[in-house]
Structure 1
Amino acid sequence: MLVHVINIIVLILIPMIIIHIRGHSFSLIGAIFVCFIYSILFMKLWSYVQVNMWCRHEGISPKSTKTRKRTQSISIAQLQNNNAHKNDPDAIDEMMKETHKPERLIQYPQNLHLTDLLYFLFAPTLCYELNFPRTSRIRKRFLLKRILEVVIGVNVVMALFQQWMIPSVRNSLTPFSNMDVANATVRLLKLAIPNHLVWLCIFYLLFHSFMNLLGELLQFADRNFYCDWWNANSIDTFWRNWNMPVHRWCVRHLYIPVVDMGFGKTAASITVFFISAFFHEYLVSVPLRMFKVWAFMGMMAQLPLSWISNYAKVHFGPRWGNTIVWSSLIIGQPLAIMMYYHDYVVMHFNDVLVEA
Structure 2
Amino acid sequence: MRGSHGGGVEEKDTHSDEGSTSVESSVNGDKAYEPIHKRSSIPVPSHAVPSPKEKGHGRPKSIQVILEKTNKKGRYTLTADDPDIREILRHRIEQDASDGKGKRRSRFRDLVFTRQFTTFDRQNPLSSQSPFHGFFTLFWLAMGLLLMRVAMQNLKAQGSIFGGAEILHMMVDRDLFVMGVTDGAMAFATMLCWGLQKIISKGYLTWNGSGWIIQSLFEIGFIGGVIEWTFYRDWPWTHTVFIVLHAFVFLMKIHSYSFYNGYLSQVYRRRSLLEQKLQQLEDMETIDSPSGVSSPRVTFQSTAVDHSNPNDAFQRRRSVGSKASTNFQTEQSEIAVMASTIESGEPLDADQVLAFGRVIKSEIAGLTDELKGKCTHTVNYYPNNLTLSNFADWTCLPTLVYELEYPRQDHINWWYVAEKGSATLGVIWVMIIISQAYIYPVVAETVHAKEAGMSLQQRWRDFPWVVSDMLFPLLLEQLLSWYVIWECLLNVLAEVTCFADRGFYGDWWNSVSWDQYARDWNRPVHNFLLRHVYHSSISAFHLSKSSATFVTFLLSAVVHEVLMFCLFKKVRGYLFAMQLSQIPLAAMSRTKFMKGRDTLGNLIFWIGLFVGPSLITSLYLVV
TM-score by length of 2: 0.47
Match of 2:518 among 239, 259, 270: 239
- 1:110 equivalent in alignment to 2:384: yes
Partner of 1:311: helix, strand, or coil? coil
Counterpart CA distance in 2 for 1:11 and 1:65 is: 31
Counterpart CA distance in 1 for 2:459 and 2:569 is: 27
Counterpart CA distance in 1 for 2:400 and 2:462 is: 43
Partner of 2:591: helix, strand, or coil? helix
Counterpart CA distance in 1 for 2:444 and 2:371 is: 48
Match of 2:237 among 1, 8, 28: 28
- More relative contact order in 1 or in 2 (CA 8 Å, sep 6+)? 1
Which residue does 2:267 correspond to in 1?
58
Quick one: structure 1 residues 332 and 65, their matched pair in 2 at CA, closer, same or farther if it must change by over 3 Å? farther
Match of 1:213 among 469, 473, 492: 492
- 1:6 equivalent in alignment to 2:280: no
CA contact (8 A) 1:259 1:265 kept: yes
Partner of 1:178: helix, strand, or coil? helix
Return the offset for 1:117.
1.1
CA contact (8 A) 2:372 2:382 kept: no
Match of 2:256 among 47, 54, 60: 47
Quick one: structure 1 residues 205 and 61, their matched pair in 2 at CA, closer, same or farther if it must change by over 3 Å? farther
Which residue does 2:149 correspond to in 1?
none
Which residue does 1:161 correspond to in 2?
435
One-letter code of the match for 2:615?
L
Counterpart CA distance in 1 for 2:403 and 2:506 is: 22
Counterpart CA distance in 1 for 2:262 and 2:422 is: 41
- 1:289 equivalent in alignment to 2:500: no
Counterpart CA distance in 1 for 2:558 and 2:424 is: 29
Match of 2:396 among 119, 122, 133: 122
Count of residues paired in the alignment? 308
Return the offset for 1:49.
1.0
CA contact (8 A) 2:427 2:484 kept: yes
Please give the per-residue CA displacement for 1:114-136, whole angstroms capped at 9, x wherever unaligned. Answer: 11111111111101111122111
Pick the structure with more helix per residue. Answer: 1
Please give the per-residue CA displacement for 1:245-289, whole angstroms capped at 9, x wherever unaligned. Answer: 000000011101112232111110111011111111112212332
Please give the per-residue CA displacement for 1:54-97, whole angstroms capped at 9, x wherever unaligned. Answer: 2123335797984354xxxxxxxxxxxxxxxxxxxxxxxxxxxx
Which residue does 2:202 correspond to in 1?
none
Return the offset for 1:328.
1.0
Kindly report which structure 2 residues correspond to 1:1-356, keeping only aligned pairs within 5 A, or say none: 1-20=212-231, 22-24=232-234, 26-59=235-268, 60=367, 66-67=373-374, 69=376, 103-104=377-378, 106-170=380-444, 177-178=456-457, 184-260=463-539, 261-311=541-591, 314-315=594-595, 317-343=597-623
Q: CA RMSD in A?
A: 2.4
Please give the per-residue CA displacement for 1:118-155, whole angstroms capped at 9, x wherever unaligned. Answer: 11111111011111221110112211210111111010
CA contact (8 A) 1:254 1:268 kept: yes
CA contact (8 A) 2:379 2:385 kept: no
Quick one: structure 1 residues 179 and 268, their matched pair in 2 at CA, closer, same or farther if it must change by over 3 Å? farther
Counterpart CA distance in 2 for 1:181 and 1:262 is: 46
Unmatched runs of 5 consecutive residues or more in structure 2: 1-211, 269-366
One-letter code of the match for 2:518?
W
Counterpart CA distance in 2 for 1:112 and 1:212 is: 26
The share of aligned pairs that are identical, in percent, is 24
One-letter code of the match for 2:584?
P
Counterpart CA distance in 1 for 2:465 and 2:505 is: 33
Counterpart CA distance in 2 for 1:48 and 1:259 is: 20
Counterpart CA distance in 1 for 2:622 and 2:368 is: 51
Counterpart CA distance in 2 for 1:288 and 1:114 is: 38
Quick one: structure 1 residues 216 and 64, their matched pair in 2 at CA, closer, same or farther if it must change by over 3 Å? farther
Partner of 2:499: helix, strand, or coil? coil
Partner of 1:314: helix, strand, or coil? coil
Partner of 2:590: helix, strand, or coil? helix
Please give the per-residue CA displacement for 1:202-249, whole angstroms capped at 9, x wherever unaligned. Answer: 100000000001111111111110000000111110000000000000
CA contact (8 A) 1:23 1:289 kept: no
Return the offset for 1:292.
2.5
Larger radius of gyration: 2
Counterpart CA distance in 2 for 1:313 and 1:187 is: 35
CA contact (8 A) 1:135 1:221 kept: yes
CA contact (8 A) 2:463 2:618 kept: no
Counterpart CA distance in 2 for 1:303 and 1:170 is: 34
Counterpart CA distance in 1 for 2:368 and 2:598 is: 41
Quick one: structure 1 residues 151 and 41, their matched pair in 2 at CA, closer, same or farther if it must change by over 3 Å? same
Counterpart CA distance in 1 for 2:525 and 2:559 is: 12
Quick one: structure 1 residues 108 and 68, their matched pair in 2 at CA, closer, same or farther if it must change by over 3 Å? closer
Which residue does 1:89 correspond to in 2?
none
One-letter code of the match for 1:8?
E
CA contact (8 A) 2:256 2:532 kept: yes
Counterpart CA distance in 1 for 2:426 and 2:229 is: 33
CA contact (8 A) 2:463 2:622 kept: no
One-letter code of the match for 2:394?
F
Which residue does 1:85 correspond to in 2?
none
